[in-house]
Structure formats: structure tokens, C-alpha cells
């Protein structure tokens, strides 16, 4: 039986002679028109180290697809470097790029009637962007992670890009000389690959492996290691077989798969951005998922891995210690993973993990034994209160003061806040409020790695709280609360906070409360006026018009 389940509409019949003529120009021969046409969504670019090694992987995928008896068609998609755009106006385009990536993959694959797609991504939004497209199209698909960067080294410690952000705060606080800052800058990023801790890229690659949409062990491989290219070629063979069996993404992206992903994210100490992205993917896949589901799973899953940003190790250390399969097996044997969930290989999760030991090796220190977790419960908590009636997301583990009550220091932008921190105007006990940085208000929901890292670098990480309707980088840690919803731009309570108001962040009670009377808030709300749009043309204007609340994933097709 031919494998061209979808592509036959452009390759078969006398009337398609012109179509075949075009395909012959790109390498098709007489015997190729009954084969599956497989797209390779290639996010290669030299914009960022995260993606600069991807073209070689795409070429291995191309060879694998041909060897498996299908016809590859490679096309490009974009990326934005969060690390390079961080702290600038350009960061507003980062979350927007998730939608652009999804739309571009859908456009190419559907417009060309492809039979399947192998998507390769590196930087943060490549992964959720690709998975949104995969869920939307529901054609056989596999995701290949471009791989993690290896750590830099300086004075006997491992460095990541977050080391450079924190060094800025240390230098500004007078804690290190400029020469030390420069050495950290020079050594933080030694080569190709996505940021090396359990930041957003490695979090999402781990989630996709847990969901069964990527091959086992692939999510923690280093970009520059040979096994990453070998795994990419193997992924091509697996995808072609999935096309022949018509194994579709929505058969894999079930409620059980999302619960597995959340459990793994909690166990590895993953990024707050995973909440936003998994909500968006679930929406596209037609799976019911809410913020409350994250809280339910958080309460029963321990943090098992000692990984940066708040821990010691990086993703390559996790890989050597057994990778995501080792973490998954521990969850499985303790009934915290759905073993009957399907994977792209055609096997169930339990079958994939059959030969993985139930406990980690004793000669490694990255993955803790089950009876000695880093923390007994997960680290990503959903906070609510009058400041976040729709919810907010916080990392609550590893902070010395899990409850902070203090005066609000209000800033209307990330830049204004960073200037105040670096000038020494933020002191212990303050609760920093950064608003009008939400999905609509930014627009684009910028990450706040620059101010949070500056707070850490200044030695205030355990004594200053920070709340925002924007996002945080996967590299952020400390008493910080993001994704505050409703956001300021739509009149959320965060828009009504005034300088000096008392705010409580209570992690154990999962509370975010503004200590202002309901009567006073009603008065302030009557006097509040929405701000005019910051952009009236182009992609940011379109995004602001369409985007939903962060509490439902900041999707752009909620009401369409």
C-alpha cells in the first residue's frame, strides 16, 4: 500500500503533471511519487547558539528519511534568542515567536500536503511552537531537540548563561570586580546548544520525551555530541514507520501524556514557562487542562533532581546520571506516571522504560533516591488571592523565607525596575511589582531574567519578593511570582497597586494578596483607564488583539 496518505493529492493523476514537474526539480524521480513526503521543519540559524548546530541534525534527518523509503522536504522556521533579546524591547517578540513558528510549520506542511513532519528546535519557543503545530495538524510527527549546551568553566565552577546575568548584579552591587564579570561573560557559553540548566528549553525537551513525542534519552543529549545526530537519524526512521501505521499525534497527546509531562517537570525542577506552554498545547490538542491540574500534581510529586538554576548540576550531568528515563521510571514504580500512555515508537511508556532500573545509580548525585528527595513536593505552585483571581505561577522551593509581606515598589516596565535595582534603590523587605508586561500589555509577556538575576546578584534573593504579569526565564529562582492574571492591561488588580501598599506572598498557603480594602479597590478601579495600545501595526499589534490570558496559555485562537 502506498505511503502517500496526504501527498497523493499533489503527486497522482494526469492533472498533477505540473506538480510533479516541480517536484522533479527538487530531486524526485519516477519511483518517488508513491512515497511519503516528510517535512523537516528546520529552525537552524546563527541568531543563537541554541540553534546553530541544528542544520547538521536536519541533514542527518534528511538522510534517515530517504533511507527509510520516504522523500524529505526541508523548510526553515524562525527563532528568537531569549538570552540575547532579554532586557530589551526585542524580548516582546519571544512568546510571539511561538505562534509564528506554529503557524509557519502548519502553513508549510498543510500547504504542501505533507504526510508527516520531523520538527527540530533549540531555543525556548521552538518546542512549544512546533508542538502546537503538530497538535493542530494531527499528521504523524516527531520532535527532535537540538541539544543542550555544555557548561562553561571558571575558577572550578560550572557556568551557564544565568551566571552572566547574575554576575551583572554582583558587579553592580560591588561584590566582584569588572575583570571577574568579563571572565564569566567570556566563558559562560562555550559552544552550540540550548542554555544548560533545567531552564525552559531543557524543561520542554524533557516534557516532550515524557509525553512520548521524542525518543528516549534524546532530551538531555549535548548538541555537539555524536549521539545527538545518531538519535536524530533514528527519529527519522521512527517517524516514517509512524506514517505507515498512521500513528497520529492526538493518539499520543492525551490527558495522560500531559499529566506525565507535568509530573516529570515537577521532579526535575523545571521552568515556570512549562505551565504556559503545556496549557497552550493542550488547548490545541483538545485536551482539558487547567492551572489547578498543576497544583494537584505538584502536591504529590517530589523534586528529585539537583539542577540549576537553584541546584548544582546541568542537563549534561543529568544525561550521564540516567536522563529523563531514569526519572520517569522512579515516578512509574511509585504510581505517579501513566505507564499505558502511548509513544511515537508505538510502545507504551511502561514498555519503553522496561529495562531502566527503579532507583538511580549510587555513583551519581544529580538524581536523588526516592527516599531522599530534594523537596517532598513539587516546586511550581499556583498562587491565588485578590492580586491574582485567575491565578499566578511561582517557584516556591529553595527560598529561605517562604512568606514575605512588605511594601510595594511599583514599576511600569522591566527597564525601570532594573535601573532601580542596579542603583541600589531596592532593599530587603520590598515587594517589587512589574506590570503592563503581560500578554496584551507588553505585548508579548517578556521574561524578567535581568531584574531577578540582578536581585540575586545583589544578595537580596531571600529578602525581596517580585511579582509581575510578565514571565520568568527558566533560569529565574527566588521569591518571584509571574503570570499574574488578570494582567494590568485588562484591569487586573495588579494595575491598581500603589507605591507603598502592603503585599503578601505566602508560598505555603499559595496566597498572593494586596492588603487594601475592597472599598478602596472599587474606588481605584472606577478611576482606572486602560492604556492605549503600544503598537498599532505589525505582528505585536496583531498579537495584542488576539492573545488570551496567561491563565489559559496565552493562546491566540481562544475565541475564534
pLDDT mean over 445-461: 90
Residue 314 is predicted with a pLDDT of 96
Whether 97 is catalytic is no
pLDDT surpassing 90 at residue 310: no
Of 238-252, 398-412, 426-440, which range is least confident?
398-412
List, in order, residues 6 or more apart from 134 with CB less than 8 Å away.
Answer: 105, 117, 119, 141, 143, 213, 249
pTM of the complete model: 0.97
Task: Judge whether 71 and 8 are in contact, CB under 8 Å.
Answer: no
% of the chain surpassing 90 pLDDT: 93
The pLDDT of residue 400 is above 90: no
pLDDT tens by residue, 53-68: 999 999 999 999 999 9
- Whether residue 242 contacts residue 213, with contact meaning beta carbons closer than 8 Å, is answered with no
How confident is the model over 345-355, as a mean pLDDT? Answer: 98
3-state helix, strand, coil in the chain (%, to 5): 40, 15, 40
Catalytic residue among 94, 463, 473, 550: 473
- Mean pLDDT (the chain) is 96
Q: With both helix axes pointing from N to C terminus, report the angle between 323-333 and 255-268 in degrees, rounded to the nearest 10.
A: 110
What pLDDT, on a 0 to 100 scale, did the predictor assign at position 399?
Answer: 78
pLDDT band at 396 (very low <50, low <70, confident <90, very high): confident
Model confidence band, residue 398 (pLDDT cutoffs 50, 70, 90) = confident
Cis peptide bond upstream of 487, omega within 30: no
Q: Quick one: pLDDT at residue 520?
A: 98
398 vs 353 pLDDT, higher one: 353
- Pairwise CA distance, residues 487 & 502, whole Å: 19
Ordered alpha helix ranges (H), 225-336: 226-245, 249-252, 255-268, 273-285, 291-298, 315-320, 323-333
What pLDDT, on a 0 to 100 scale, did the predictor assign at position 491? 98
30 pLDDT band, cuts 50/70/90, is: very high
**From CA 356, how far away is CA 33, in angstroms rounded?**
42
Answer whether 470's CB lies under 8 Å from 437's CB.
yes
What is the average pLDDT across 19-44? Answer: 98
| pLDDT surpassing 80 at residue 1 | no
Higher pLDDT, 475 or 311: 311
Among the residues of 116-177, which ranges form H helices? 126-137, 161-172
Amino acid at each position: 500500500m502506498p505511503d502517500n496518505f496526504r501527498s497523493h493529492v499533489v503527486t497522482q493523476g494526469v492533472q498533477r503533471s505540473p506538480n510533479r514537474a516541480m517536484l522533479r526539480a527538487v530531486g524526485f524521480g519516477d519511483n518517488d511519487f508513491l512515497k511519503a513526503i516528510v517535512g523537516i521543519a528546520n529552525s537552524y540559524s546563527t541568531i543563537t547558539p541554541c540553534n546553530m548546530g541544528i542544520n547538521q541534525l536536519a541533514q542527518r534527518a534528511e538522510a534517515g528519511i530517504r533511507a527509510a523509503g520516504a522523500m524529505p522536504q526541508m523548510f526553515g522556521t524562525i527563532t528568537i534568542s531569549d538570552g540575547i533579546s532579554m532586557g530589551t524591547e526585542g524580548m516582546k517578540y519571544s512568546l510571539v515567536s511561538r505562534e509564528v513558528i506554529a503557524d509557519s510549520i502548519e502553513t508549510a506542511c498543510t500547504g504542501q500536503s505533507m504526510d508527516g513532519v520531523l520538527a527540530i528546535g533549540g531555543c525556548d519557543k521552538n518546542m512549544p511552537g512546533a508542538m502546537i503545530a503538530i497538535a493542530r495538524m494531527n499528521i504523524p510527527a516527531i520532535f527532535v531537540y537540538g541539544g543542550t549546551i555544555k557548561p562553561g568553566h571558571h575558577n572550578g565552577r560550572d557556568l551557564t548563561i544565568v551566571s552572566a546575568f547574575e554576575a551583572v548584579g554582583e558587579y553592580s552591587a560591588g561584590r566582584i570586580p569588572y575583570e571577574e564579570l568579563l571572565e564569566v561573560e567570556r566563558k559562560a557559553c562555550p559552544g552550540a546548544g540550548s542554555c544548560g540548566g533545567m531552564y525552559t528549553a531543557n524543561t520542554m525537551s524533557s516534557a516532550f520525551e515524557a509525553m512520548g513525542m521524542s525518543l528516549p534519552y534524546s532530551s538531555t543529549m549535548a548538541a555537539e555530541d555524536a549521539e545527538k545526530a545518531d538519535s536524530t537519524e533514528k527519529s527519522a526512521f521512527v517517524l516514517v514507520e509512524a506514517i505507515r501505521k498512521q500513528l497520529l499525534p492526538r493518539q499520543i497527546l492525551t490527558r495522560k501524556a500531559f499529566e506525565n509531562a507535568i509530573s516529570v517537570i515537577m521532579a526535575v525542577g523545571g521552568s515556570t514557562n512549562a505551565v504556559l506552554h503545556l496549557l497552550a498545547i493542550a488547548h490545541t490538542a483538545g485536551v482539558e487542562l487547567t492551572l489547578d491540574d498543576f497544583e494537584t500534581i505538584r502536591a504529590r510529586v517530589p523534586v528529585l533532581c539537583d539542577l540549576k538554576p537553584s541546584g548544582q548540576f546541568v542537563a549534561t550531568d543529568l544525561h550521564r546520571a540516567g536522563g529523563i528515563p531514569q526519572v520517569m521510571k522512579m515516578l512509574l514504580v511509585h504510581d505517579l506516571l501513566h505507564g499505558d500512555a502511548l509513544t511515537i515508537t508505538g510502545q507504551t511508556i511502561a514498555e519503553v522504560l522496561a529495562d531502566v532500573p527503579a532507583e538511580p545509580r549510587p555513583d551519581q548525585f544529580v538524581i536523588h533516591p526516592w527516599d531522599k528527595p530534594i523537596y517532598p513536593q513539587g516546586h511550581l505552585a499556583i498562587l491565588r488571592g485578590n492580586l491574582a483571581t485567575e491565578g499566578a505561577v511561582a517557584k516556591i522551593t529553595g527560598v529561605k523565607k517562604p512568606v514575605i509581606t512588605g511594601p510595594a515598589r511599583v514599576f511600569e516596565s522591566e527597564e525601570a525596575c532594573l535601573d532601580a535595582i542596579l542603583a541600589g534603590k531596592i532593599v530587603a523587605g520590598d515587594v517589587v511589582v512589574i506590570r503592563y508586561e503581560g500578554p496584551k500589555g507588553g505585548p508579548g509577556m517578556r521574561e524578567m531574567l535581568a531584574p531577578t538575576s540582578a536581585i540575586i546578584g545583589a544578595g537580596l534573593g531571600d529578602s525581596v519578593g517580585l511579582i509581575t504579569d510578565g514571565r520568568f526565564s527558566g533560569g529565574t529562582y527566588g521569591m518571584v511570582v509571574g503570570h499574574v492574571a488578570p494582567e494590568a492591561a485588562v484591569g487586573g488588580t495588579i494595575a491598581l497597586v500603589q507605591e507603598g501598599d502592603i503585599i503578601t506572598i505566602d508560598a505555603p498557603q499559595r496566597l498572593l494578596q494586596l492588603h487594601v480594602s475592597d472599598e478602596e479597590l472599587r474606588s481605584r478601579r472606577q478611576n482606572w483607564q486602560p492604556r492605549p495600545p503600544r503598537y498599532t501595526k505589525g505582528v505585536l499589534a496583531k498579537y495584542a488583539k488576539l492573545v488570551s490570558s496567561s491563565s489559559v496559555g496565552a493562546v491566540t485562537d481562544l475565541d475564534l
